[in-house]
Each structure stands twice: as C-alpha cells, then as structure tokens.
Amino acid sequence: MQSSAAILIVDDHDGFRALARIMLEADGFAVTEAATGAEATEAARIGRPGLVLLDIQLPDFDGFEVARRLAAAPAGGLAPVVVLTSTREARDYGGRIAASPAAGFLPKDQLSGAALRRFLARDL
Amino acid sequence: MNRWLRAALIAGATVAVGCFVWSSWLPNSQYAPVEVSFAVVGLSFMVAGIAAWQRWPASRLGLLFTIAGYLYLVPYILVNLANPAAWTIGNLSEGISGAALAHLGLAWPGGRLRSRFECGVVVANYVQNIAFNTAATMFWNPAFSGCNASCPANVLLIGNGSRPTLNTLDTTEALVGLVITGIVLTLIVRHWRSARGWSRRAMIPLLWIAPAVGAENILTGNLFHFSALVTYALLPLVLLAGPALFVISTVRARTAGGALGTAIVDLEPGAPPTRLRDALARALGDSTLQLAFRLPDGAGYLDTTGQVVDPARPGPGRAVTPVTEASGAVLVHDGGLEQEPQLIRLTAAAASMALEHTRLQAEVQAQLEQVRASRARIVEAGDAERRRLERDLHDGAQQRLVTLSLALGMARDRAAEADPELGSLIESASKEAREALTELRELARGIHPAVLTETGLTGAVQALVERSPVATTITAVPDGRFPAAIEATAYFVVSEALANVAKHARADGAQVMIRKFPGRLLVEVSDDGTGGARSEGGSGLRGLADRVASVGGVLRVDSPSGGGTRLEADIPCP
C-alpha cells in the first residue's frame, strides 16, 4: 500500500538532497533519495512513494523523461504524485511543464513540507 | 616595318606614278581619264604593298604587291617615252603584270608558293608571257596597228614583219594563257576550300583578285576583242578592287586589337572559359580557335569543348601560342595567324588577363567563403560558450544559493522561538540570499536563455513576449526545432527588437511573426511607434545585422519617421 507520507527526492546535488531530507523529515515525511533518473525509477518501483520531488536537470535523462516513465509504470498501484523542481523558474521551461504528466512545478528555493502537501491535497 | 623601307616604297610609288603621268600627259592628252585610271590601279597595288609589309612583315605579299604595281606601270611609261628601244620593251612587257597577279593570287596570304607544282605554274606563266610577247614583237610591224610615221621604230622587227605569223602567235599565246589561267584559278579555289578560320577570312580579298587575274589574262590575250570602255575602264576597276579590299581588311585588322579590349571588357567577371574562347575567336576572326588547359596531373591538354589537344602536334595548318606559363593554358589557332604576331601576342595577353582575373575572382570568393565560415564558427562557438556558462551557473552557484537560502529559512524557523533577535538576523541573511539568487537568474538568462535550449523558439519567444513591457502579440511561430545557431539568431532578433520597442519606439503595441519558408526562416517584429530607427546608426541594430549575417541572413529595417518600425530578418534555414 502506498504511503502518502513517503517522499522520493530525486536530485544529483548531494547538499540539496541532505537539506531537503532534514526539512521534510522534520515535517513528518518518510524520505528516500535517488541521484539519477535510472535510480529514481528503480526506487519508485520498490519504495512506492506517494510523492516524487523530481529535479529537471539530471545527469542521465531529464526530469520530464523520468516523469513520463513514472506515470507509465505503476505496476498494480497508483502512480505517485510527481512535482518537478529546479533552481530555474517555471517560465524557463516554456510549455514543457504543462505538457508533462507531472502534477506541477515547485522552484527549489520555495521548497517546504506545506507546499508539497498542497500538491498532495490537490491530487486527491 | 623598317622606316627606310617604307620611305623607299613611298618614294618609289610617287616617282613611278609621277613618271607615268608626266610621260603620258602631252601626246595622249585626249585619253586623260584612261591614263588616270591606269595610274590609280598601279598606285593601288603599291599602297597595298606598303599595307602588306606593315601588316605581315614576315610574308612576301608586300614584295609581290609592289612588283605587280611596277610591272603594271613601267611598260606604259616605257611606251610613252617615244624612244625606239624603250617603246619596244614597253610593248613586249605590257602583259607581264597579269603573270605577277597570278603569282600574287597563288602565294596568298603567306607570300610563299605552297608546292613545286605551283612554282612550276608561276614560272611557266612568266616565261610564256615574255617568250610569246618577244616572239610576237619580232613579227609586229607598227603599221599593222595603223601606226606609221607617228610611232617609234620596233627595234626587234624582222624585215617588214608578218601578219599571219603574228596572228598565229597571238592566238597560241591566248590559248596557253587561258589554260594556265584555268589552272591558277582552280588552285586558288582549292586553297580557299581547304582554308579554315583566320586563313579563310584572310582570303576574302583574293575572291576579287582571282576574277581579276582571269579577266586580265583574257583581255590582254588578244583572243577576244572588247570595246575600249571595257579594256580601259572596266578592267582597271576590277583590278582596283583587290588592293582596295586588302587595304580595307588591313585597316580592319588593325582595329582587331581594340576589338580584343572590347571582348575582354564585355566578358563579365567569372565567365566560363567557353565564353572567353568565343570572345577571343570573334576578336581574332578565327572561328577555329581553341583554348586548351593543361590537366592538373600534367597528362595533356583539354580544350573548352572537352577535346584532347596536343600542343606538340597541333595538326596541319594549326599553330600553338602559350597564354602564360603559370596558367597552363594554350591557344591553338589557324597557322595563318602567325603572320600577325602582334595580334597573337595581344590575344594571348588578353586571355592571360581574363584567366588571371577569373583566378583572382575565384580566390577572393574562396577567401570570402572561408571568412564567412569562420565567422559562423566564431558565433557558434560563442553561443556554445554562453550555453555552457549558463549551465555552469545553474549547476553551481545557483544550486548552492538555493540550498543556502533553504538552510537559512530552516535556521530562521528554529531560532525564531528561542531567540527572536537571532531569528530576524537570519531572516535578513535569507533575504540577501534570495535576492542574490534572483539577480543570478537574470544574469544567467542574459548570458543564454535556458528556455531556448529547453523549448526552442516557441517557448523562448513566448517568454520574451511575456516579459515585454509593451503589449505584444505573437502572430506566428513555427513548431519544431532548428539548428542552434539559427534559433539563437532568431531569438536575439526578437529580443533586441522588443527591447528597442520598449526603449525608443513609444509604441502602444508590437507584433512578432516568425514563419518558415522552404530554405529560410523569416522573423518579423513590428510596432506602431514613432519609427525613425536606422540599422547603420545604433550599435544595437548594427550588431544584430552582423549577427544575422553570421548565419548568411539579411536584416532589413523599415522605419519611416512617424510610421512605426518593422524589423525583418531573412535567415537561410534548412
């Protein structure tokens, strides 16, 4: 059964992952991490997180591609809520964010447990 | 031609004509028109001689014309001298100029006879002429011609002469002369038929001399009898035509040098070698001219029609003139043209100049292509460098600032309850970090718009329009991606144009339209502002024009004062 409090953080930047883990765990989330697109799909398959915080810029393939794979591969369960994130702003990605199956976009500097819960609530 | 030779020829001609006029003036004054026509014919041959010497110094044609002129005039002078010996010699040599004319016709235009047979024909013609005339004079009593006491004595006369013998000799001479004239005319026709190109053109004056030879021999052969009008007026006119035509053709040949200049000037730069050959052939008057180039591997020569040419063996009646060593080109032309060394030299020089011009043109074109390509590479390298910088900023400093900002936010939340003062201190640090992040984002976007890399023109132009302070509509933007340099150029055109609209145009609205046509991308930005923008003035538009040119495009600015501004970039695009 998929836990709504389980979050997968996908980012190749160790410092960000560590900080986000501290922040989100303090907010009551169970956090797992992945540093690449491949690790992310694998971790999502095993851990069944309720939400994936997905950096767009990844070393192997970009966040849009990972979001597509996550949306396509829910083997017998619900697909996780995917929130794209980046140090850039949403408008730097033009229409690509709207066109992706992700639930939305959250700039990295505005990350908080409350902001993520809003995505979860909207998706329910 | 040698100055002294020319002076001597002119002096000789003047003296001969002067003597002729002086000697014939008083006794035959009633025949003045006839005498003048004879003088003019003799003089015309001498003038043609000078022209031939001048035009073709290597040919004996000048000598033959001059001899024909003297042989024509001198017998009449001798006859008019009223001295028995001179009178006799004059009478018996009167027809010899016809043999000289035949000689001239056969030797045309090189001045040399082409075979032993032709030499034999010419010698036989001179010999029969002198022999028959001498023999006939021995039997000619001047009284037979109604000339009793008024004529000087015939010093060769045997006894009282013999009218039947004289008639037999005259008839035989006429028949022999007719046969030889027939042979001469046949040979000349054969020369004409075998001549090509320049040689055939050079034979045009001969077309009139040949009938003249025939007419002269027939008329002076005493076989037929014509009226005095034909003998003394028509015949000289026919004779006059040959030298006159030759002199005219010589004058025309002298203008061939000018024609060469015109031919080269008319040749547009970079014209193919075929055009050069045609121009040279026209100027030279040699339709058989070939312009051949050495093959790059040195394996031989090919002419402009792709035929193999061997400069060492150009073929019978052909000659070779190298254009220049450097160009490896040769002219293969009619052999007769070797008589016009000056014209050939001029032609080779003209060809050399034209080829050199074409070579330089190609070189400049190649250099220009290189410069264009290197400019495009420089711009592309610059774009790539800016993309890399933007990405480095994003991956490095921006990432760290975001993390720092988040950490500060967390620290503030935790410190706020325990120590409000520390909390507000951390809050101000956090604010600084956020502002630094915003500034860094703007800087990165200015270096290279990530949205262009991410989404291409569609998203990038949309982002530009959204940021523009002037109300701007997008009329058209093609979907799909284009080469990075083209996308970047189109983006910078729209970006710079919208920035100008905001800064200078005082416009209420603007429009962006990007359309894809086969092979090109047309970017247009227009506004309804004050106009008056100049691409050569502002460095912004100048730089933009350079940027557009770097991908081979053209920037056009239409900005009438008070009529808005329309910026159009026409960019080649696959």
User: Which ipTM did the prediction report?
Assistant: 0.88
CB contact under 8 A, B450 and A19: no
| Joined tokens for residue A73 | 């591969």
3-state secondary structure of B344: helix
Predicted local confidence at residue B486, as pLDDT: 93
- Residue A108: its chain B contacts at CB < 8 A? 402, 406
A105 at the B interface (CB within 8 A)?
A: no
3-state secondary structure of B286: coil
Please give the residue of chain A at the shortest CA–CA distance from B434: A109
Please give the residue of chain A at the shortest CA–CA distance from B431: A109
Q: How far is the alpha carbon of B399 from chain A, nearest alpha carbon, in Å?
A: 6
- Residue B450: its chain A contacts at CB < 8 A? 88, 92-93
Compute and round to an integer the Cα radius of gyration of chain B: 47
Chains A–B, number of C-beta pairs less than 8 Å apart: 70
Please, are residues B172 and B132 in contact by the beta-carbon 8 Å criterion?
yes
| Joined tokens for residue A88 | 């850039």
Please, are residues B354 and B372 in contact by the beta-carbon 8 Å criterion?
no
A93 closest CB neighbour out of B401, B406, B455: B455
Please, are residues B201 and B90 in contact by the beta-carbon 8 Å criterion?
no
Q: Which residues of B touch A (CB under 8 A)?
A: 394-395, 398-403, 405-407, 409-410, 434, 437, 441, 445, 449-451, 454-455, 458-460, 462-463, 466
Predicted local confidence at residue A2, as pLDDT: 46
Predicted local confidence at residue B185, as pLDDT: 86
The full DSSP string for B361-424 is: HHHHHHHHHHHHHHHHHHHHHHHHHHHHHHHHHIIIIIHHHHHHHHHHHHHHHHHHHH-HHHHH
- Residue A113: its chain B contacts at CB < 8 A? none
B463 closest CB neighbour out of A15, A20, A91: A91
pLDDT in tens, chain B (574 residues): 677 888 888 888 888 888 877 777 655 545 566 677 777 888 888 888 888 888 887 788 888 888 888 888 888 888 877 788 888 888 888 878 888 888 988 888 888 888 999 999 999 999 998 898 899 888 888 887 777 667 788 888 888 888 888 888 888 888 888 898 889 889 988 988 888 888 888 887 777 666 766 666 666 655 556 666 666 666 777 777 778 888 887 777 777 666 777 776 777 766 778 888 888 888 888 888 998 888 877 778 888 888 888 888 888 888 898 887 777 888 999 888 887 777 888 888 888 888 888 888 888 889 998 998 999 899 999 999 999 999 899 888 999 999 999 999 989 988 888 888 999 999 999 999 999 999 998 899 889 988 898 888 988 998 889 888 999 999 999 988 999 999 999 999 999 999 988 888 888 999 999 999 999 999 999 999 888 877 665 557 888 898 999 999 999 998 888 888 999 999 999 8
A87 closest CB neighbour out of B398, B458, B459: B398
Instruction: Provide the 8-state DSSP code for A79.
Output: P
- Candidates B8, B411, B503, B382; CA nearest to A23 is B411
Please, how many CA atoms are within 13 Å of residue A120, restricted to the half-sphere of its CB? 19
CB contact under 8 A, B394 and A87: yes
Q: What share of chain A is helix, strand, coil (3-state, %, to 5)?
A: 45, 25, 30
Q: What is the pLDDT of residues A51-77, one digit of tens each?
A: 999 999 898 888 999 999 888 866 666
Under 8 Å CB-to-CB from B438, ≥6 apart: which residues? none
CB contact under 8 A, A20 and B406: yes
Predicted local confidence at residue A31, as pLDDT: 94
CB contact under 8 A, B403 and A13: yes
Q: Rounded CA gap, B297 and B317, in Å?
A: 29
Q: What is the pLDDT of residues A25-36, one digit of tens each?
A: 988 899 999 999
- Candidates B26, B51, B61, B23; CA nearest to B39 is B23
- Residue B434: its chain A contacts at CB < 8 A? 109
Predicted local confidence at residue B196, as pLDDT: 83
Q: Rounded CA gap, B47 and B68, in Å?
A: 11
Predicted local confidence at residue A1, as pLDDT: 38
A14 at the B interface (CB within 8 A)?
A: no
Predicted local confidence at residue A18, as pLDDT: 93
Please, how many CA atoms are within 13 Å of residue B212, restricted to the half-sphere of its CB? 29
CB contact under 8 A, A23 and B406: yes
Give the percent of chain A with pLDDT over 90: 40
Please give the residue of chain A at the shortest CA–CA distance from B390: A88
Count other Cβ atoms within 10 Å, centred on residue A119: 19
Ordered domains of chain A (ranges, CATH): 3-123 (3.40.50.2300)
- Candidates B139, B134, B223, B209; CA nearest to B177 is B223
CB contact under 8 A, B398 and A96: no
Helix (H) or strand (E) holding B517: strand B509-517
A61 at the B interface (CB within 8 A)?
A: no
Average model confidence (pLDDT) across chain A: 87
Q: How far is the alpha carbon of A70 from chain B, nearest alpha carbon, in Å?
A: 21
Q: Rounded CA gap, B228 and B143, in Å?
A: 20
- Residue B407: its chain A contacts at CB < 8 A? 19
**With a CB-CB cutoff of 8 Å, which residues 62-81 of chain A face chain B?**
none
| Joined tokens for residue A58 | 């990844």
